[in-house]
């Protein structure tokens, strides 16, 4: 093997090829460091005296399907001025690592196309080795995302497992990148983010959240000058939850068996948008029959459809009229669930109409949450919480596809 091949194939420069061996299915190359390349690890001086050597073996990129190992007697040198005796630094491997930088680059390239376990099996190394390579790369690139140009953000929490375990995620709405992942949910989870945001000098213009009191107070304290938009996705989701509870209550109170059967079969039909009803399964006819038999249910359902129109108006003044009209109709309906919801919307009226000042929502963040859940399923969960957070921060670069 030529010295040129050592450089072009394995990234080894300043070393001479000594021998090759084939042991246990591995290709093992032995190399030697040229004397003139030996330097002091502290000051970089070439005026060093030899003090023996330490043999080490490094895994490098494979040849075909064969693993390749590089064996090197690493010189130990003494430097009188620095008063040390240490091994010379290596330019092809990081300290305390048993693989070369070319191997690390190759593993990272494969990681974009394969799972950690697949890469480990292909390279015939441990799963933890590939995870360590990925984690170090993610730490280098995503541990502290830049917040200087942050203008519009969305904040929401995501459940990551059983036992009410949550993470709070902050998304940059301009490019879809996650810029912060905090432990737990609520205002306390965002404290490290506010600290970094102040230090960055960023000027956030708008923020989208749900109607959580904790988020409202946190945004008021730290982003008082920003437009705070209460996301319409969460408003409709909250109303759908109330609608399901209301249908369940009607089912319990229904005395007629026919009414019970009709109500039982309409759970998902009530939650669907009218344009999504399947005509081949007669879903529209079944829904209309249920609404005809139960007037309170029909009132709640049609008000749900009218509520969606608040965010479909051409301007803020028209939307305010639609919202105020909806609140009056719900309050006059005589249905306790609608009356309570009308009070809630009246309380958060300013944030709901702020959508027309800055048309943002947490919709992109919901898509990110779905990606996080997909990533969890593919990995069967993550025990290393730091690694999991780094994967979330890099999620905008990830691509998920069905393999098979």
Which residue is associated with the tokens 């408003």?
Answer: 235
Tell me, yes or no, whether 197 and 84 share the same domain.
no
397, 355, 395: which is closest to 180 by C-alpha?
A: 395
Q: Which residues contact 68 (CB under 8 A, 6 or more apart)?
A: 10, 26, 27, 28, 29, 59, 60, 61, 62
Tell me, yes or no, whether 251 and 201 share the same domain.
no
Tell me, yes or no, whether 83 and 108 share the same domain.
no
Tell me, yes or no, whether 199 and 239 share the same domain.
no
Beta strand 26-33 pairing with 15-23: antiparallel
User: CA–CA separation, 91 vs 11, rounded Å?
Assistant: 9
pLDDT in tens, 3-49: 777 777 788 888 888 888 998 889 998 988 887 777 776 676 767 77
E-state strands within 80-220: 84-87, 152-161, 165-172, 177-183, 206-209
Q: SS3 for 230?
A: strand
**In the structure, how many helices (H) and strands (E) does the chain have?**
16, 10
Token pair belonging to 62: 């494979």
CA torsion 342-348-353-359 (nearest 10°) is -120
With respect to residue 371, please indicate whether it lies within any of the assigned structural domains. Answer: no
With respect to residue 242, please indicate whether it lies within any of the assigned structural domains. Answer: yes
pLDDT on residue 199? 92
Three-state secondary structure readout of 249-302: HHHHHCCCHHHHHHHHCCHHHHHCCHHHCCHHHCHHHHHHHHHHHCHHHHHHHH
Token pair belonging to 290: 């249920």
134, 132, 144, 129: which is closest to 109 by C-alpha?
A: 134
User: CA–CA separation, 402 vs 394, rounded Å?
Assistant: 20
With respect to residue 220, please indicate whether it lies within any of the assigned structural domains. Answer: yes
pLDDT in tens, 163-190: 678 899 999 999 889 999 999 888 899 9
Tell me, yes or no, whether 156 and 41 share the same domain.
no
Distance of CA 379 to the CA centre of its chain: 14
With respect to residue 364, please indicate whether it lies within any of the assigned structural domains. Answer: no
User: Residue 121: which domain range?
Assistant: 101-140
End-to-end CA distance of the chain: 40
pLDDT on residue 155? 93
With respect to residue 53, please indicate whether it lies within any of the assigned structural domains. Answer: yes
pLDDT on residue 349? 93
- How many structural domains does the chain have? 4
With respect to residue 404, please indicate whether it lies within any of the assigned structural domains. Answer: no
Q: Which residues contact 117 (CB under 8 A, 6 or more apart)?
A: 127
Tell me, yes or no, whether 106 and 200 share the same domain.
no
User: CA–CA separation, 352 vs 356, rounded Å?
Assistant: 9
Q: Are 112 and 86 in contact (CB under 8 A)?
A: no
pLDDT on residue 261? 62
Token pair belonging to 147: 């917040």
Tell me, yes or no, whether 224 and 162 share the same domain.
yes
With respect to residue 366, please indicate whether it lies within any of the assigned structural domains. Answer: no
Token pair belonging to 11: 């990234």
Residue 142 CB-density burial (10 A; 0-12 exposed, 13-18 middle, 19+ buried): buried
With respect to residue 147, please indicate whether it lies within any of the assigned structural domains. Answer: no
Q: What is the CATH number of the domain that holds 216?
A: 3.30.420.10
Length of the chain: 404
pLDDT mean for each 10 residues of the chain (404 residues): 74 84 89 78 70 86 90 79 74 88 93 88 92 92 90 90 82 92 90 93 92 91 92 89 83 61 65 74 73 80 89 94 94 91 93 93 85 77 84 78 40
CA torsion 109-111-116-117 (nearest 10°) is -70
């Amino acid at each position: 093997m030529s010295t040129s091949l050592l450089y072009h194939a394995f990234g080894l420069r300043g070393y001479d090829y000594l021998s090759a061996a084939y042991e246990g299915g591995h290709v093992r190359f032995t190399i030697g460091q040229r004397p003139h390349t030996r330097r002091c690890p502290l000051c970089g001086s070439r005026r060093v005296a030899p003090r023996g050597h330490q043999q080490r073996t490094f895994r490098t990129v494979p040849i075909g399907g064969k693993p390749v190992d590089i064996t090197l007697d690493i010189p130990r040198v003494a430097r009188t001025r620095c008063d040390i005796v240490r091994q010379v630094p290596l330019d092809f491997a990081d300290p305390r690592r048993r693989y070369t930088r070319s191997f690390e680059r190759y593993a990272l390239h494969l990681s974009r196309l394969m799972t950690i376990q697949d890469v480990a099996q292909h390279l015939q190394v441990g799963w933890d080795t590939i995870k360590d390579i990925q984690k170090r790369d993610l730490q280098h690139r995503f541990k502290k995302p830049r917040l200087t140009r942050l203008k519009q953000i969305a904040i929401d929490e995501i459940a990551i497992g059983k036992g009410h375990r949550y993470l709070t995620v902050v998304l940059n709405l301009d490019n879809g990148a996650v810029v912060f992942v905090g432990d737990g949910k609520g205002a306390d989870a965002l404290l490290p983010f506010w600290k970094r945001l102040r230090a960055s000098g960023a000027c956030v213009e708008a923020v989208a959240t749900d109607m959580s009191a904790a988020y409202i107070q946190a945004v008021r304290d730290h982003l008082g000058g920003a437009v705070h938009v209460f996301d319409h996705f969460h408003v409709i989701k909250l109303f759908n939850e109330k609608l399901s509870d209301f249908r369940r209550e009607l089912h319990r109170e229904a005395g007629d068996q026919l009414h019970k059967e009709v109500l039982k079969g309409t759970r998902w039909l009530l939650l669907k948008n009218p344009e999504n009803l399947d005509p081949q399964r007669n879903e529209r006819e079944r829904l209309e029959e249920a609404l005809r038999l139960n007037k309170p249910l029909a009132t709640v359902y049609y008000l749900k459809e009218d509520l969606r129109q608040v965010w479909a108006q051409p301007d803020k003044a028209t939307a305010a009229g639609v919202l105020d009209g909806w609140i009056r109709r719900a309050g006059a309906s005589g249905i306790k669930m609608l009356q309570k919801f009308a009070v809630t919307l009246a309380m958060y009226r300013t944030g709901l109409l702020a959508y027309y000042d800055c048309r943002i929502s947490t919709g992109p963040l919901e898509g990110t949450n779905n990606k996080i859940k997909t990533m969890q399923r593919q990995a069967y969960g993550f025990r290393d919480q730091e690694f999991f957070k780094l994967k979330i921060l890099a999620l905008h670069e990830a691509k998920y596809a069905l393999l098979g």
